[in-house]
A and B are shown apart, each in its own frame.
Chain A
Amino acid sequence: MVDYARVQKELVECNRDKDISGVSIELDNGDDLSHLSGRITGPIASPYEGGIFQIDIRLPGGYPFEPPKMQFITKVWHPNISSQNGAICLDILKDQWSPALTLKTALLSLQALLSSPEPDDPQDAVVAQQYLRDYPTFVGTARYWTDTFAKRASVGTEEKVQKLVEMGFPEVLVRKTLDIVGGDENLALEKLCTG
């Protein structure tokens, strides 16, 4: 059902200039083209600068005529993104989706959303209130979350990932597990072993 030919092309096209655009897409689950994993780098001059944010992407059967489902895997403090589960409030992922948009444009929109939140249409009311009433605290919290959750991937995690992958676990699973346990290598190993 999903137009896989298009998805293939989208992947190639998106990853071609990922160093410039700051967004990329990978397969999340073997050959399954309907389950992808996106990454965006935190925009410069925002509290998310320096972070790498992982986004779970699921393509519904009607893609691209139905919008892709996207959700932050990396925890993020942002008025339009749930601090609980990473759900995103963005019009183009809902009724404003157009088949002429692509996964790349959607990820770029997310990146833009990180730069300029829309607190009047919040996904996370707590964050939105803080953003509106106490902006400095908001910036502090967002930055702290970025440092805590979005940076380990680029600093220490790659080594941990490599180590665990060498032990025979699939990379995607390793990354996910590391995310879940907050980057603790031993806890991740324990979890991977117990399944």
Chain B
Amino acid sequence: MSDFTYLSSSDDDDNYNYSDYKQHEDEDDDEDEEELHDGFENDDDDEWNTSSSSSSSQVITKESLLAAQREDLRRVMDMLNLSEQHARTLLIHHRWDVQKVLAVLVEKGKDRLYAEAGVTVLDRKCLTSQSSSEVTCIICMEDISVEEVTEMDCGHCFCNNCWTEHFIVKINEGQSRRIRCMAHKCHAVCDEAVIRNLVSARDPDLAERFERFLLESYIEDNRMVKWCPSVPHCGNAIRVEDDQYCEVECTCGKQFCFGCSSEAHSPCSCLMWELWTKKCKDESETVNWMTAHTKPCPKCHKPVEKNGGCNLVSCICGQPFCWLCGGATGRDHTWTSISGHSCGRYKEDQNQKAERAKRDLYRYMHYHNRYKAHIDSFKLESKLKESTQNKISILEGKDTTLRDFSWVTNGLYRLFRSRRVLSYSYAFAYYMFGDDLFRDEMTKAEREIKQNLFEDQQQQLESNVEKLSKYLGENYELYDKGKVMEIRMQVINLSVITDKLCKKMYECIENDLLGSLQLATHNIAPYKSKGVEKASEFPIWSTKANIADSHDLTHNTKIDGVTVESNGPSGTQNNESGSSTRKHTNNGSGGSSKKQRADYESGCSTRKRGRREPHGDGLFDLNLPAEVLDKS
């Protein structure tokens, strides 16, 4: 394998070390390995700590699921003067999009809105109060006492046994969210209270599952809500306010792209990221290239690459051989024959194809190497966390006039954040300027202009990040005060610069690179100086009051008791208990937050962070994934 490094040594820039690549592939097997956290604190800095209310995303725990759902139910109930179950039916039909319900109401009118969703609002609950004491249920074909039959809002009446059977079948089919009436061609959705009562009389466990399905519809049928992709599942879901293309962090610490549920990957679009990870995993390309482009030397068996047009190749051991049959030959050759052997296949073939494949691979390697280099640096730098703590304590002990070390922590955050942006920016560039996605959208000249523009910014960012890394890696704890102050100045400056450059790069991507494209839509999660946004917890308590003043208290408390555990996307939830003891900040006035965040500049914060510390009691919480910390 190591023989192979000499292959591309002719081109320094594109130098490609196969064994490195291989190693990287191996690492990829460990999925978490590549997950990067830039470790910013979102919500504990006073200057923009309108705290949780500043988040545009919220964590929905199993405790707050009901409250979150009820918020939307309320709006529809109030708007249309509907019962809760009818509001739920409407919302489920429209995937919990209150705006959509409104739009349909305006566009098509109330009747159509209701009919399409299967809502029947009728007050004729007296059809069965006929004189006779028995009615024939046409399902079981028995005469049943009127006490034992139930009439739905749609006016269809069947015996309780039959209803129960029907509900059980539908719940088991996973159709809890819209169980229709049993009558042929009746589209009415059944009253959930009736379902609840009848099913729990027969099978309380199933009734509980029914409740859960209804509750979880809020997550699973909802565009703006997604399960947290943590494994094992933390039990939470995240709700975003208005932008589905964002990156969020769950209270469990999992950071992810809301658009595709994989790790946060901006400035790559979800599609780019999907393609990129697939490509990185797909080793076959390299293997193919190897088979297509190298042949083992018949003498020493090292792989030899074909260089140039003719089919006589020479190994560095000096052995010439025929590229087509692999047989050893003499040196003398023409375009049609090589001395010392005759395989009859010696001609110009497939050269262009091979050249193209080679170009493609080199191009990929170019971007991948840089992408990987920044990830590697990130991992190395994460060790700085501990050493920085030591340095700070040494400095604190040494000189009492040096009190404020927030520049170090902020500098580190900035370094992690920028590294991350940098590494993903190479995956972005690979697709932005490659043939896969935008070939028909840009002329060659346009592409070149864009590429130059982007690479300028990328290089600026890169050099500043390296400088920042260098200063933060110095042993400043050994320096005198003047020198420390000098480094402090540099770190603060570089932090501000890299933050600005990152922001500029995102703007360039949005406005100059993608903005002018017509066909493809690539939504990039916006740049956040402070890193991936931590979702705030959805407040339970404020809405609890609503529950109480709404109807049917008993049944609500029952829903509250429902355990969401064995459910969730992977079925492997491992809920932390005691979440009821969490603090819940009232989600009062949001709005101002975005502006504040945008105005935030790194290095300005002078406050130490006093947040709960999951990895020992250090001075600050980088919130790195455990596996990165363990490695360091």
Q: Which residues of A contact B (CB under 8 A)?
A: 3, 5-6, 9-10, 62, 64-66, 92, 96, 98-101
Contact = CB atoms under 8 A, between A and B. Distances in A.
Interface in B157-189: 158, 162, 165-166, 168-169, 182-186
Contact of A101 (B158, B168, B184): B184
Given A96-B184, A96-B185, 8 more contacts: A9-B141, A62-B165, A62-B169, A65-B165, A65-B168, A99-B162, A99-B165, A100-B158
Minimum-distance CB pairs A-B, first 4 = A98-B184, A65-B169, A99-B182, A99-B139
The main secondary structure of chain A at its interface with chain B is loop
Contacts of A96: 184-185
Nearest to B138: A100
B380 interface: no
B449 interface: no
25 contacts: A3-B140, A6-B141, A9-B141, A62-B165, A64-B139, A65-B162, A65-B165, A65-B166, A65-B168, A65-B169, A66-B169, A96-B184, A96-B185, A98-B182, A98-B183, A98-B184, A98-B186, A99-B139, A99-B165, A100-B138, A100-B139, A100-B158, A100-B182, A100-B183, A100-B184
A150 B140 CA distance: 34
Given A98-B184, A100-B184, A6 B140 contact: yes
A21 to B, nearest CB: 18
A99 B138 CA distance: 9
Interface string B135-152: 000111110000000000
A111 B156 CA distance: 27
Interface in B375-425: none
B182 to A, nearest CB: 5
Contacts of A92: 184
A10 B142 CA distance: 12
Interface in B219-272: none
Contact of B166 (A5, A9, A99, A101): A99
Contacts, number: 38
Contact of A5 (B140, B165, B185): B140
Contacts of A64: 139
A103 B70 CA distance: 43
Most buried by B among A5, A62, A98, A100: A100
Contacts of A99: 139, 162, 165-166, 182
Nearest to B164: A65
Contacts of A3: 140
Contacts of A5: 140-142
Contacts of A101: 184
Contacts of B183: 98, 100
Most buried by A among B140, B141, B162: B141
Contacts of B140: 3, 5-6
A3 B162 CA distance: 10
B343 to A, nearest CB: 51
A64 B182 CA distance: 10
A6 B165 CA distance: 14
A99 B183 CA distance: 7
Contacts of B184: 92, 96, 98, 100-101
A62 B141 CA distance: 16
Interface string B114-156: 0000000000000000000000001111100000000000000
A9 B139 CA distance: 11
